[in-house]
Chain A
Amino acid sequence: MSEPLLSVQDLRVGFATEEGVVQAVDGVSFDLRPSEVVAIVGESGSGKSVTAQTIIGLTRANNARIEGSVKLGAVELTSADDAEMRKLRGERIAMVFQDPMTSFNPVYRLGDQIVEAIRAHRPDTSKRAGKERVVELFEAVGIPNAERRVDDYPHEFSGGMRQRAMIAMALAREPEVLIADEPTTALDVTIQAQILGLIEQLNRERNLATILITHDLGVVAEVADRVLVMYAGKVVEEGTLDEIFYDPQHPYTWGLLGSLTRLDRPRPHRLPQIAGSPPSLLELPEGCPFRPRCPHEFSKCTQYPGLEARLADSPAHRDRCWLTPEEKRGKRQVEGQIGLEAPR
């Protein structure tokens, strides 16, 4: 196995608020290898976006406490100063955001905004050379009439085209790592399919390692190699794409899989659902934080299990659930599908 490009070790991010410290990310570890796509999945508030933002240094507020380590090659990102971070951003690691409508400045031409980003790193680039580069990038991400469209304003682009322009901007300095935070959530399905195809293509052709943040396992199935499932700031299960989809070990993962509507299957009478809502990070229940929503809770769940390998034949798979693999296999089927039984 190749050396990891990015290595996150025991990352903890807490925010001091008036009501107490919100531990948004609580001991997350994972490695990202060259040309790998790692998906981080979870509901709102699970800490997936904060993990991503912390990696690229966007959570450095006065009230934030960041512990643990994020290494990009030999560089420690958590202790890098702002000037260093600025240099690394774009150059080695770049990010694409969810909302392509609000990520560009509406009063500047798109091409100029991207040229500005290029010139920030390479002040010796001429404006003309910068613009030529943008045209190249637009062509690479599949924006038609690139030459003309670089002079357009953001409002002249559709949502999908704007997301392509965002990706073009992220790619401008040829980074090694791309972080995509819900890149397709705001888009129509047909456009979503195109953007996912684009991410896959970049991943294949440029060996771009990608961290994909999403709440939609359907999106994950299309592009990811490995999956981390997060709940209340912790990773509750991680494994290869196939392990997560065909032999999921954590009841929360079952719930996420079960609540998907599937066009390729007959409709179930009821969608298996996860009862309740994610816990407040200020009042986490004792033990496993998923316990109040889990139909399979038992006495041992008042202690929180560690993230451990529990499957004999897949050492890279880890989860946090006290049930034995045999018990899990027995409990997770609902109407022939993986899910949580609907409480009625």
Chain B
Amino acid sequence: MSALLEVTDLVKHFPIKRGILIDREVDQVKAVDGVSFKVGRGETLGLVGESGSGKSTACRAVLQLIKPTSGSVKFEGQEIAGLGRRQMRPLRREMQMIFQDPYASLNPRKRIGQIVGDPLKRQGVASGSELRQQVQELLERVGLSSEHYYRFPHEFSGGQRQRIGIARAVSLKPKLVICDEPVSALDVSIQAQIVNLLDDLQDEFGLAYLFVAHDIGVVRHISDRIAVMNEGKIVEQGTADQVCEQPKDEYTKKLLAAVPIPDPRESRERVRNG
């Protein structure tokens, strides 16, 4: 069986332009520079890297939110790289995204019901009272209450807003959800809630996740496999435990060594051993 998502040699270069009348391209930022990975059905691939490593750009290029410079993105065997908005629309039902900033990713002028129900309405899945009922069930499923339907985003905390974003992303029962730093803006205690919720939804709906984060601890917890990205390239790929316990690449080792150990004795030990 083929992978759900197969990305081969994905490249996204941004031009650097100079000049007043005539824009000359003087250089390129190689944000994503030949990246290949696969995500199987119901599987979670974690993508870790520091800011500027190109992980968010890679996600956007996979979803065709930005046009890749070159390379292939196959979803269920179908080539989607370079497809236009209209051609992508039926596929959007199968692949959704959860964004990092729960304060910026919800329209402040819309009610929660509209925000979560919009994908269902646009894809013609439900309308009227049936739509409302489905949205309310979704809200309860992600740990909110059905009476939140008529509220506005500003009435919610960061963790609750992220739950709203999750409800919106899973409303169409997609096969793939791309999570771009879904917990990095949240308190540690709330992070655990959201990670557990994502885990539960995966079991329930058979979702596959492409989980992007800079926090390797969270990524290891949720992922089956991990790919480590640095300067636009994937430097190491393997099962979550392999990458975290026997890293091969120097950069991966550096990244792992920098993670604080929440254990004073071990962290003192680490200081002593340099």
Interface residues of A (CB under 8 A from B): 43-44, 159, 188-190, 192-193, 196, 215-222, 241-242, 245, 255-264, 267, 270-275, 277-278, 342
B264 touching A221, Cβ below 8 Å: yes
Chain B residue at minimal CB-CB distance from A274: B189
Please name the residue on chain A nearest to B244 by beta carbon: A263
Contact B259 A256 (CB under 8 A): no
| Structural contact, B51 and A188, CB atoms closer than 8 A | yes
B249-270, CB under 8 A of A: which get 1 and which 0?
0000011111111111111000
A215 partner residues in chain B, CB cutoff 8 A: 187-188
A189-B258, A263-B244, A267-B220 given; A241·B193 CB < 8 A:
no
Dominant secondary structure of chain B at its interface with chain A:
helix
Quick one: which of B50, B193, B215, B257 has the most chain A CB within 10 A?
B193
Q: Say yes or no: A262 contacts B190, CB within 8 Å.
A: no
From residue A49, how far is it (CB to closest CB) to chain B in Å?
Answer: 13
Instruction: Say yes or no for B199: interface residue by CB 8 A criterion.
Output: yes
B216 within 8 A of A: yes
Is the Cβ of A262 less than 8 Å from the Cβ of B217? Answer: yes
State the Cβ distance, B246 to closest chain A Cβ, in Å: 13
List B contacts of A242 (CB < 8 A).
Answer: 264-265
Choose one: B189, B258, B259; the contact of A255 (CB below 8 Å).
Answer: B189
Q: Contact: B260 with A259, CB < 8 Å?
A: no
Known contacts A43-B190, A189-B216, A270-B196: does B260 contact A261 (CB below 8 Å)? no
A189 touches B192 (CB 8 A): no
Q: Let me know if A277 and B190 touch, CB within 8 A.
A: yes
B54 CB-CB contact with A under 8 Å: no
Residue of A nearest to B53 (CB): A188
Contact between B157 and A188 (Cβ–Cβ < 8 Å)?
no
User: Whose C-beta in chain A lies nearest to the C-beta of B256?
Assistant: A263
- Asked whether B191 lies within 8 Å of A259 as measured between CB atoms, the reply is yes
User: Chain B: residues with CB nearer than 8 A to chain A?
Assistant: 50-51, 157-160, 187-193, 195-196, 199, 214-218, 220-221, 240-241, 244, 254-267
Task: Please name all residues of chain B whose beta carbon is closer than 8 Å to the beta carbon of A190 when the two chains form the complex.
Answer: 50, 254-255, 258
CB distance from B220 to the nearest CB of A (A): 6
A236 vs chain B, min Cβ distance (A): 13
- Across the interface, do B159 and A270 meet the contact criterion of CB distance under 8 Å? no
Q: Which of A260, A262, A273 touches B196 (beta carbons < 8 Å)?
A: A273
The docked-state distance in angstroms from the alpha carbon of A273 to that of B183 is: 14
CB distance from A25 to the nearest CB of B (A): 18
In the complex the two chains form, what is the Cα distance from A220 to B157 in whole Å?
Answer: 25
B264 and A217 within 8 A (CB): no
Asked if B190 and A267 make an inter-chain contact with CB atoms under 8 angstroms apart, the answer reads no
Residue of A nearest to B261 (CB): A264
Choice from A260, A270, A272, A273 contacting B262 with Cβ under 8 Å: A260
By a CB distance below 8 angstroms, the chain B residues around A241 are 264
Contact in complex: B218, A261 (CB < 8 Å): yes
Contact A218 B221 (CB under 8 A): no
Closest partner residue, chain B, to A293 (CB atom)? B189
Docked CA distance A267–B224 (Å): 12
Closest 4 CB pairs of A and B: A261-B217, A218-B260, A259-B192, A273-B192
Please determine whether B214 and A273 come into contact, CB atoms closer than 8 angstroms. no
- Report A160 CB to chain B, min CB distance, Å: 10
